[in-house]
């Protein structure tokens, strides 16, 4: 663990036709031969090695990976909050390691998960902090600075919020304020650490939509880390898919899906990535088969419920359990000669659980008898 891994190249480029190469000739962010990790006295603990990555203008990149794969370490390293083990990070061909804090603040802005205690700070106070690298030592705002702040507020739909206290905003609004702050800093690259972390589903989608839109309209490069697969899949231009061993697969999200990298990174024995739906499906198959008949939405949701409970659908009608979804949204359950009409999926599952369990116990008893 203490020694650095020697990996040929840990970044896998997927399908790089010449067009993509052309688009990447003048990137905003260039990561070359980067190794990240922690150095403690003489020991080095490498999290990821030999990363080669780029982000171009107007591109939104999601860094996606399971918990604990090193997303935060990579984000911190790029943001300059943590020393690198080796390699270079450049923004617009300027090596970040050689820059002062102030020069770096002109190239890179951050939106962090760490919650700030607003106190008496108003929305415009916070957004104004974004202008600090551009103002004099007293932080006096010029007309130009005020325009920039106004633009940032407009882009994050925060007009009218200027004098509101930050502490009194909702989580979604707070997040938008911090994004407006980063926009006001007017840097070619904006990095966001888990920007959807505290938000509910509609706001998460709204957030990703806003960010995607911002990347297109402002032509800034946006890099965000997330572990929300469906959002990243839907909204990012490019995905950096990080595996637990630090390997990063980069490419268009759809390419990564088709080439099976999602299953590779996220899948395990108990669930698998379903290519058709773009979601993960559980694989709790215990060999219990059910025959499901019917069609429509009710049929689809019944199927989901059965899959969750670990029943395999059996089209061969050999199964001793049959569920028929009727036109008027009822479920007819047949087991042997019994026939029950159920009014909800919960009822269907309950009966099914009861019957399959008793037959299992029955089998067990039989086994025991045989043994004796």
Partner 1 sequence: MSRSSIWFIIFGVLLVVFFFFDIMLGSVKIPMDTVLSVLKGADSKPSWHYIILNFRLPKAITAILAGAGMAVTGLQMQTLFKNPLADTSILGIGNGASLGVALFVLASALFPSMLLQGSSLGNMGVVIAAVIGASVVLLCVSAVAMWLNDMVSILIIGLMFGFITGSLVGILQYFSNPDMIKSYLLWTLGSLSGVTWTQMKILAPIVVTALSVTMLFPKSMNALLLGEQYARSVGVKVTTMRNSLIGLTSLIAGTLTAFIGPIAFVGIAVPFCARLLFKTSDHRILIPASMLCGAVLLLFCDMVSQLPGHQTTLPINSVTALIGAPVVVAIILKNRRNKTVFN
Binding site residues, partner 1, CB under 8 A:
79, 81, 100-106, 108-110, 112, 114, 116-121, 125-126, 129-130, 132-133, 135, 137-139, 165, 167-168, 185
CB of 302 vs partner 1, minimal distance in Å: 49
In angstroms, give the least distance from the CB of 140 to partner 1: 9
Q: What is the DSSP letter of 251?
A: E
Q: Which is nearer to partner 1, 189 or 233 (CB)?
A: 189
Cα–Cα dist 109/227, whole Å: 21
Query: Judging by beta carbons within 10 Å of its beta carbon (0-12, 13-18, 19+), is residue 119 exposed, middle or buried?
Result: exposed
Residues 243, 230: Cα–Cα separation, whole Å: 17
Of 4 and 167, CB closest to partner 1: 167
CA 304 from centre of chain:
23
Are 15 and 251 contacting, i.e. CB atoms less than 8 angstroms apart?
yes
Task: Choose between 125 and 314: whose C-beta lies nearer to partner 1.
Answer: 125
Rounded CA separation 247/64 (Å) = 12
- Closest approach of Cβ 175 to partner 1, in Å? 14
Going across the sheet that includes 43-55, the strands are 43-55, 29-40, 86-91, 94-95
Nearer to partner 1, 130 or 251 (CB): 130
Distance of CA 268 to CAs 70, 136, 264, Å?
Answer: 19, 54, 8
Shortest Å distance, C-beta 120 to partner 1? 4
Nearer to partner 1, 117 or 269 (CB): 117
Minimum Å gap between C-beta 121 and partner 1 is 5
Minimum distance of partner 1 from residue 195's CB (angstroms): 15
Q: Which of 218, 166, 150, 171 is nearest to 190 (CA)?
A: 218
Contact 63, 224 (CB under 8 A): yes
Q: What's the rounded Cα separation, in Å, for the pair 126 and 168?
A: 14
Distance of closest approach, residue 167 Cβ to partner 1, in angstroms: 4
Quick one: how far is CA 55 from the chain centroid?
17
* Residue number with CB closer to partner 1 (16 or 115): 115
Across the chain, how many H-helices and E-strands are there? 12, 18
Neighbours of 267 (CB within 10 A): 15
Among residues 64 and 75, whose Cβ is nearest to partner 1? 75
Q: Which of 63, 75, 74, 69 is nearest to 229 (CA)?
A: 63
Nearer residue to partner 1 within complex by CB, 121 or 342: 121
Instruction: Report the nearest approach of partner 1 to the CB of residue 76 (Å).
Output: 9
* Alpha carbons 174 and 171: distance in angstroms, whole number: 5
Question: Which CB sits closer to partner 1, 25 or 163?
Answer: 163
Closest CB 186 distance from partner 1, rounded Å: 11
């Amino acid at each position: 663990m203490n020694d650095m891994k020697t990996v040929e190249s840990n970044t896998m480029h997927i399908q790089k036709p010449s067009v993509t190469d052309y688009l990447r000739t003048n990137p905003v962010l260039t990561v070359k031969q980067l190794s990240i990790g922690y150095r403690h006295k003489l020991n080095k603990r490498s999290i990821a090695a030999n990363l080669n990555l780029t982000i171009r203008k107007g591109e939104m990149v999601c860094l996606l990976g399971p918990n604990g794969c090193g997303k935060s370490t990579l984000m911190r390293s790029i943001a300059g909050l943590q020393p690198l083990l080796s390699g270079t990070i450049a923004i617009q061909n300027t090596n970040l390691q050689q820059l002062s804090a102030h020069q770096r603040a002109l190239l890179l802005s951050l939106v962090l998960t760490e919650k700030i205690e607003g106190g008496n700070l108003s929305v415009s106070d916070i957004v104004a902090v974004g202008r600090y690298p551009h103002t004099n030592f007293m932080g006096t705002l010029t007309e130009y600075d005020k325009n920039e702040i106004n633009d940032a507020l407009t882009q994050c739909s925060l007009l009218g919020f200027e004098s509101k206290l930050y502490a009194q905003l909702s989580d979604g609004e707070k997040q938008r304020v911090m994004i407006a702050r980063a926009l006001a800093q007017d840097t070619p690259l904006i990095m966001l650490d888990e920007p959807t972390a505290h938000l509910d589903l509609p706001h998460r989608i709204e957030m990703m939509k806003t960010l995607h839109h911002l990347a297109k309209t402002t032509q800034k490069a946006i890099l965000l880390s997330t572990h929300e697969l469906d959002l990243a899949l839907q909204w990012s231009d490019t995905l950096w898919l990080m595996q637990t061993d630090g390997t990063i697969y980069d490419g268009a999200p759809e390419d990564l899906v088709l080439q099976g990298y999602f299953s590779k990174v996220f899948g395990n024995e108990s669930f698998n990535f379903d290519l058709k739906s773009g979601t993960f499906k559980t694989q709790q198959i215990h060999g219990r088969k059910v025959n499901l008949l019917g069609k429509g939405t009710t049929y689809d949701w019944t199927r989901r419920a059965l899959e969750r409970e670990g029943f395999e659908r059996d089209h061969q009608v050999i199964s001793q359990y049959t569920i028929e979804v009727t036109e008027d949204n009822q479920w007819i359950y047949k087991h042997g000669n019994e026939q029950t009409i159920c009014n909800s999926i919960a009822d269907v599952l309950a009966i099914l659980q009861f019957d399959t369990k008793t037959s299992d116990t029955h089998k067990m008893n039989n086994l025991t008898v045989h043994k004796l």
